[in-house]
Structure 1
């Protein structure tokens, strides 16, 4: 049975992987004042250039329930759908996908559909998609894959190291109070997707060099044996910086597979140029780590 994977553009799945694995992507939107564009209308380079030269700060917006409905409806009814969603903690995307699923199942109750709230974004969503693809290659059923992915969400870690937190503050993803403290004390914030899927401060580190060192050290505190695990890192139009970071990861942690991708405009709107976002599955769940 053919299983159809779908996601949204918060996932930052490169186009060649979308094509190779037949992943359908529902685009989010970016807004500059009254102007709205699909995220796919920009390259990350062009988007960041507009941000740096423009006077209006961009905001992201979720696809409408109709956008999801149209995507789901167009898929062969005999193909089970597994949708990997941007965190409900930062976007209405997941809730809109739920609305679309409800409507479609009222019309076509025989459909098999599973929606996964990853409580993550960018590299974390890529990691979940990779997990799904591996199980599909082993001929697992859609139900088993969906159950597995749901069980993995509490173990998913997504950690951010940004060049600037101005975008997060302007976009309302980080409080101005936390931002002001960081700037005043020359503190670099290491951020993460919390248990609720919101962007929160994981650690505060003095100085950029110490922050980068701590960024890599954290992996070892979450994983004892990375040999059978997959690691994903995305970057905000900073491939050389990402390459250097991954060289350090490879030297220290023998992951089974390492994937790299560039953040799209949606994530770049919040994380900014030069951001590094890494994801992996921790040995302990959020609850167990407390």
Structure 2
């Protein structure tokens, strides 16, 4: 048995980290005008925000085609892989997980073990890292069970603060009523994943107060996880300086927690908009050095 690990591009894991653990990537697409760009291959975050700011309409997004996934599986099979652990963003916001399953049924000689992380971004990437770091020292069935346990909220969680709900509403990731309420109140909503869906957690008047509330939630959860190897990530949407300041503040308050800085790339930023910030973590031990 030879196991490969695949993650979709919305994990936004650093290339150096993916290279270190030989994690392969299947890109999602962002559609600008009549052109589809493969995320982080044909377009990076900086170029995307430049283009988005020039557009009147919201860019589109799409999951990898089954054909693209089949090509990846055939390439992995030719390298001698027999099994693939395929880690994907929530199936409630993208069809990527479903297409991975369908592609796996179309290619002989290699078996796909797909993981619906029920979350997204670097927090999803924690699961790909864990899989890659343990695929050779843990039975496959046991590792898949661990990944299922890892995605439970008591082990892995995240909160997001967005400047506006407009992009989420336009993209169909949030209901019209929820978006309208946020707009009328001029709030900075805190969002979370519940049952694999993006839902409002709380609505707060200012971004500063919203971030403070996320810090309070994080503090309560860290109380429960004292002594555990917590790794946390601050994620920003074209707001690196703000994200870095927040990360450094949190790092000073939680010296025993490993913090990383990440970003919302084109596909996720399409729905969250600019200025969004996220804070996520896992209690499972993962190596994020590269």
TM-score by length of 1: 0.88
Corresponding residue for 2:212? 213
Corresponding residue for 2:87? 84
Corresponding residue for 1:148? 146
CA distance in 2, matches of 1:226, 1:262: 27
Shift of 1:173: 1.1
Shift of 1:112: 4.2
Corresponding residue for 2:17? 17
On the 8 A contact 2:171/2:271 being kept in 1, the answer is yes
Shift of 1:144: 2.3
CA distance in 1, matches of 2:104, 2:262: 29
Shift of 1:185: 1.7
Corresponding residue for 1:175? 175
Q: Relative to 1, partners in 2 of residues 1:78 and 1:173: Cα closer, same or farther, differing over 3 Å?
A: closer
Q: Relative to 1, partners in 2 of residues 1:89 and 1:226: Cα closer, same or farther, differing over 3 Å?
A: farther
Corresponding residue for 1:286? none
Corresponding residue for 2:288? none
Runs (4 or more) in structure 1 with deviation over 4 Å come to: none
On the 8 A contact 1:12/1:263 being kept in 2, the answer is yes
Corresponding residue for 1:96? 99
Deviations 1:176-207 (A, max 9, x none): 22222222222210001112x11110111122
Q: Relative to 1, partners in 2 of residues 1:3 and 1:89: Cα closer, same or farther, differing over 3 Å?
A: same
SS state at 1:103 partner: coil
Shift of 1:231: 1.1
Q: How does 1:66-81 map to 2 (within 5 A)?
A: 66-75=67-76, 76-81=79-84
Corresponding residue for 2:160? 160
CA distance in 2, matches of 1:183, 1:251: 34
- The more displaced of 172-181 and 211-220 is 172-181
Structure 2's unaligned 5+ residue stretches are: 285-290
Structure 1's unaligned 5+ residue stretches are: 284-290
Q: How does 1:182-197 map to 2 (within 5 A)?
A: 182-195=182-195, 197=196
Question: How many pairs align?
Answer: 277
On the 8 A contact 1:80/1:142 being kept in 2, the answer is no
Corresponding residue for 2:64? 63
RMSD: 2.0
CA distance in 2, matches of 1:226, 1:87: 28
Shift of 1:79: 4.4
Shift of 1:136: 4.1
